[in-house]
Structure 1
């Protein structure tokens, strides 16, 4: 198994957090995905399906558009499996996908239908490439050409939500977000749904659980990790819902790909655009 990440060019860092190239030559690949960010996935090799938290299953089209996740999902792929992915910021979702994120949450949308013939030609070109650097250079002109302007007010709300969720020393509270944005709470909720795929209260739960899971993956003291939750059972339920694992299985039998995507340096969805990560290899 190989997983590599690469940073977007500076002019795209407001839309994209990272690119990644995943390769596995196993005959069958099964695993669990955390409640994820919105992504575009180009299936370079392999076919499969994703089962979401509500129990429904979507087949993987050649270009997968994965909406933001509100719970952990499982996947199954007949390999070998090679995939080039684009992890999107909420503004990037609006600019490139141009669909309300909450209409696409916890589901797979056919990227061929969204991107048309240009997207399918891009997929065929990517299938002839070997390196993440070549793929990144090839996909970025497509993303630039596809992106449409996002209203300044919407960008400001997205940045306020990112800043609200980002601190690692406290659990976010919805009232704090509403206080930070000079709009009605109803308007804020509508925009947060449109770009993040879920209302603020669910985002509060999601990122509290993901932050806790990341801390456990990176060796944090479980007693400190449990502090933002009502009690230990609450922490266990929330981590299980958003990662598919309990604190115990995170420590003993974590899916290796999930463990990598829970690292604080993986998708960087709460980092400011100018702090994008450098290319790196994970095997």
Structure 2
């Protein structure tokens, strides 16, 4: 990044220069009963004294910071310090961070139904902010944080936290059937190409009897914004993925009014322009754009998973 002080690591800039990154991140998909709730677990490590980067709009996250600390600047400009255990809801736009490293973080990306069962707070009430994990899980969560800090591999960390997650699922209230239907319809709606808001409303009314206000309320509760904002996220992240993977701009621009509209929307949700998506970007962002399995809001991709059990 421009203006970086001596000794800092500006990930995006160093990536453009082709330098070797002191960075490692590994993902592991969830399994068994956790599949409908947790998209994936991950362990990230950045071996640098100072890290500055951009995080795209994404899923709800539950994170354990095992090394390093700093602050996050959210879309409205307010700043918050990172926490040992923190939760942040699905965001409204990209945000930036500055971390004093070395940085090590274990976390998980939560599907919509997992957000409801594991976190239990409406997403729009915690979007674009960091929530202290002890507010949600109690002070005992710091014991788990300490135990995770003693482990080395992602596999060990997942094995430790899986029983905790299962116990929380068992204690959670069952998700209403209408909400399960809503999440399924949102998946189908978003996977349909360039969805219209009316198509979502029509499908919800036909299959569940819900009206527009109910749909809008559920979109905010699970995805932190109304249907139109959700549609914009799908469109921008989908376009960013295709551009990063090499698709011509002319092929990506169809859902947008014009090229300027496309550029503005991609930058709003990813913090990058179409050009920077190809030239070199934050490796965390690159990992989420290169891997189709780590898709933005994976709930929207049709799955064979039976969500009715929880």
**Normalised by the shorter chain, which TM-score bucket?**
over 0.9
Q: Within 2, Cα distance between the matches of 1:216 and 1:51?
A: 26
Report the CA distance between 1:274 and its aligned residue: 5.0
Cα distance in 1 between the residues matched to 2:291 and 2:226:
23
Report if aligned partners of 1:14, 1:273 keep a CA contact under 8 Å in 2: no
Does the C-alpha gap of structure 1 residues 203 and 51 become closer, same or farther in structure 2, counting only changes over 3 Å?
A: same
Contact 2:57 2:270 in 1 (8 A): yes
Cα pair distance change 1:142/1:100, threshold 3 Å: same
- Corresponding position of 1:81: 103
Q: Distance in 1 between matches of 2:250 and 2:109?
A: 32
**Mapped pair 1:175 → 2:198:** yes
Q: Which residue of 1 aligns with 2:178?
A: 153
Contact 1:260/1:266 (8 A) holds in 2: no
Task: Tell me the number of residue pairs that the alignment of Structure 1 and Structure 2 aligns.
Answer: 273
Q: Where do residues 191-202 of structure 1 align in structure 2 (5 Å cutoff)? A: 191-202=218-229
RMSD: 1.3
Structure 1 unaligned segments of length 5 or more: list them.
276-283
Any conservation in 1 of the 2:191–2:302 contact (CA below 8 Å)?
Answer: no
Paired residue secondary structure (2:139): helix
Counterparts of 2:221 and 2:80 in 1: how far apart (Å)?
Answer: 22
Q: Is the 8 A contact 1:37 1:68 kept in 2?
A: yes
Give the superposition deviation at 1:272: 4.3
Q: CA deviation at 1:265?
A: 2.4
TM-score norm. by structure 1 comes to: 0.93
Matched, 1:245 2:272: yes
The superposition leaves residues 162-220 of structure 1 with CA deviations (integer Å, 9 ceiling, x where unpaired) of 221124xx212111111111310101111111111111100000110000000011111
Q: Is the 8 A contact 2:90 2:223 kept in 1?
A: yes
User: 1:262, CA displacement in angstroms?
Assistant: 2.0
User: Aligned pair in 2 of structure 1 residues 234, 159: CA closer, same or farther (>3 Å)?
Assistant: same
- Quote the Cα distance in structure 1 between the aligned partners of 2:104 and 2:291: 24
Aligned pair partner of 1:40 in 57, 62, 71: 62
Show CA shifts across 1:49-106 (max 9, x none): 1111111111111111011011010011110100001100011111111001000111
Residue of structure 2 aligned with 1:25, choices 28, 40, 47: 47
Matched with 2:141 is 119
Q: Contact 1:62 / 1:112 at 8 angstroms: preserved in 2?
A: no
CA distance in 1, matches of 2:249, 2:291: 17
Compare CA radii of gyration and give the structure with the larger one: 2
Query: How far has the Cα of 1:122 moved from its partner?
Result: 1.1
